[in-house]
Chains A and B, each alone.
Chain A
Amino acid sequence: MSKIIAIVGLGSCGIAAGAGKIFDKLNLFAESKKYDVLVKKTSCIGMCYREPLVEIIDKFGKYLYGGVDENILEEILEQHTKKQSPLNKYVVHSELLKTKDDVFWEGQIKIALRHCGYIDPESIEEYEKYDGYKALRKIADKNISRDDVIKEILDSGLRGRGGGGFLTGLKWKFAKAEVSDVKYIICNADEGDPGAFMDKNLLEGDPHSIIEGMIIGAYAIGASVGIVYCRAEYPLAIVRINIALEQARKNGYLGKNIMNIKGFDLDIYVKEGAGAFVCGEETALMSSIEGKRGMPRKRPPYPAVSGLWKEPTNINNVETYSNVSWIINKGAVAYSKYGTEKSKGTKAFSLTGKINHGGLIEVPMGISIHDIVFKLGGGIQDGKKFKAVQLGGPSGGCIPAHLDNTIVDYDSVNATGAIMGSGGIVVMDETTCMVDIARFFLDFTQKESCGKCTFCRVGTKRMLEILTRITEGEGKDGDIETLETLSYQIKDGSLCGLGQTAPNPVLTTIKYFREEYEAHINDKRCPAGSCTKLLSYEIIPDLCTGCRICAINCPSSAIDGAKKEIHFIRQSDCISCGICVIKCNFDAIKVY
């Protein structure tokens, strides 16, 4: 019997799906020597829709198994140890055989996520084995100057992956040009966009690559203090980045005279956020680090001139830093080979919503939305019709199905009215109401508005009120126009990105789905059948068996009818909650 290696994907989503139990079970097997297996852990590989995932490496190669539970696990181990062959029906990815999940991998180029799902994130040795800290060593050994590092990053065309899309190299250049006793380098890990989890996976899966990127950045601009501002909602990410920092200190990647570069001192520490979306905005983030309310302030002066504690500060996103060491290792040319003319490289996206293959992908810039949804994403759940994708979170917008040939790069996405954002893609089908989506985002931004600028504070509130009214069937003539006017006023009258982009979800849905708004307002009808207050319910006599289940569960007692007799909904008492539809076992309730 030959020894096999089992690697369990222990990202927080994997753990939620039960990977922790699988990991414990495997350890039990290994201890009791029931199977000759070496158990290792890694983080999320991106196939969230197939969690929990276990990779088995035997003498022939690697096999990734999906949807593993305790029974399947035993089956797989039996097969590998006794018959020395894979259990094909549960394999979701392997270079040795074809699976129906292969489409998920076709077209993916992993640069930022190169280690996620492959290495143990809590082991610096594994990171070092896979070219870890090699870029830093290269800079030290070859005596690469600070200007040359910046030039390399500038030449690669790397743009800020947090959503702004500002050239990273240029940002570094500005920060380096400032003269000051102390400079700060900050990693923005306050990934607040709902529906986005790229940074979380990177922090959980490859914390050292972020740290290495920060160290190189600190060298380039001359920073001596680094801060990772991570949101408190990611407890596992915080744990892992702290472990990684401790290891980096121990191995001499942080501290004084790093890599024997004279005068290069740096320490990095983690600052936990406290749950405020606006703190993803760089000036608000710095106020938060200073212990104040996370309110943005006017720019200029930009952080590169006067940032944290009024000192020169450079802020980049998690994914941006993760790209840095790859670029230094392989060169700017290798990186800029991918992507489009103005947006180089690759971008990680989290793919969620009504899609078959929800998960984390990394693709070259320039891929079309159609390819993401239908090729990698495996199409829409339950064979429903594709309606739109939402890109960029609450600051972004909806791109409708007929524009699905739009390619993803900063400029093409901006042209549709949406923004690239940090990379959250939420897919919507025909049952998603676009007015409700706009309302959902406005509800979010209205709650998260810090309140500093009047237009953002009051304007989002008024917009939310109008949208709520529309979804409840009380829309009025002229509402759409009022929404548009308010949108432009908020955009013009707000200091920070939150306010300037908050109306985007409303503007794009009006632009592409105006008829849906009109149906809500004029006909009091929700075409997607999603706004419950606009729906009516009726029992189909032919299908009703008189079981009384709907009547018992109706919260407003609006259903009449004796046992074994056809029931009837009293429309005057019906509150359109839809519970009867869920409860009925015979599909006897019609919704219209």
Chain B
Amino acid sequence: MEKILKKYKHASRDNLIPILQEVQDKEGFLSEKMLVKIGKHLKLPVSKIYGVATFYNQFRFQPKGKYHIQVCRGTACHVLGSASVMQELKKILKIKNDETTRDGLFSLEIVACIGACGLAPVIAINGEFHAKVSSESIKKIIKNLKK
């Protein structure tokens, strides 16, 4: 984190989002402490930073799970049954959107269209796409990951 801030030595307001992105990339999420630090660095009130961070879907305030599952909620995915995939995931993992399981294994995130509509419904686990998933196939995928 210090390194990232050092990189943006003479940073101004327009560097805020890239800094938040880099910090999240490194740490997995944004904590209150980190936001305070960024605020001091940019000479911006933390409230402003929190305002920006909460505005954008990309930023999260809870650590990611070992397997970060992103469910696409695009139209093509919806028409082909992404809602039931999401429901099944919520049921088996017992978490809601933007939450992480207690064992830290899985986290769930709904994302806007990831642009792989030809393969709908799509989910991405740690960035790797799984095409044409169903509420059935998702069970197997999760089971395999738990092993």
Contact = CB atoms under 8 A, between A and B. Distances in A.
A197 B115 contact: yes
Given A12-B129, A393-B75, A426-B75, A292 B52 contact: yes
B122 interface: yes
B13 to A, nearest CB: 4
A428 B80 CA distance: 10
B131 A290 contact: no
Interface string B21-61: 10000000000000000000000000000011001111100
A289 interface: yes
A193 B115 CA distance: 9
B17 A353 contact: no
Interface string B114-128: 111111101000010
A233 B115 contact: yes
Contacts of B115: 12-13, 191, 196-197, 200, 233-234
A65 B127 CA distance: 27
Nearest to B117: A352
Nearest to B57: A275
A197 B17 contact: no
A292 B13 contact: yes
Contact of A233 (B14, B15, B113): B113
A16 B122 contact: yes
B131 A16 contact: yes
A194 B16 contact: no
B112 A194 contact: yes
Nearest to B113: A194
A293 B55 contact: yes
B136 A359 contact: no
A294 B14 CA distance: 12
A195 B20 CA distance: 28
Interface residues of A, number: 53
A15 B129 contact: yes
A168 interface: no
B68 to A, nearest CB: 14
Contacts of A273: 56, 58
A277 B112 contact: yes
Interface residues of B, number: 41
Nearest to B53: A274
B111 to A, nearest CB: 6
Interface in A535-592: 582
A235 B118 CA distance: 18
A296 to B, nearest CB: 13
B76 interface: yes
Contacts, number: 134
Interface string A329-370: 000000000000000000000101110001100000000000
B5 to A, nearest CB: 15
Contacts of A193: 113
Contacts of B56: 273-276, 294
B21 A195 contact: no
A274 B21 contact: yes
A16 B75 CA distance: 19
Contacts of A358: 76, 117-118
A233 B131 contact: no
Contacts of A294: 55-56
Contacts of B66: none
Nearest to B44: A291
A320 interface: no
A233 B13 contact: no
A426 B58 CA distance: 26
A195 B113 CA distance: 7
A195 B119 contact: no
Contacts of A162: none
B111 A359 contact: no
A13 B112 contact: no
A409 interface: no
Given A274-B56, A276-B57, A291 B116 contact: no
Closest 7 pairs (CB-CB, A-B): A48-B118, A16-B129, A275-B57, A194-B74, A274-B56, A195-B75, A352-B76
Interface of B: 12-18, 20-21, 51-52, 55-59, 73-80, 111-120, 122, 127, 129-131, 135-136
Given A13-B116, A16-B130, 20 more contacts: A12-B129, A16-B131, A48-B119, A49-B118, A191-B115, A194-B77, A194-B113, A195-B76, A196-B117, A232-B58, A233-B115, A234-B115, A235-B127, A275-B111, A291-B12, A352-B120, A354-B80, A358-B118, A437-B78, A440-B78
16 contacts: A12-B116, A49-B118, A194-B74, A195-B117, A196-B113, A235-B127, A273-B58, A277-B112, A289-B14, A290-B14, A291-B14, A350-B117, A352-B120, A354-B80, A441-B75, A450-B55
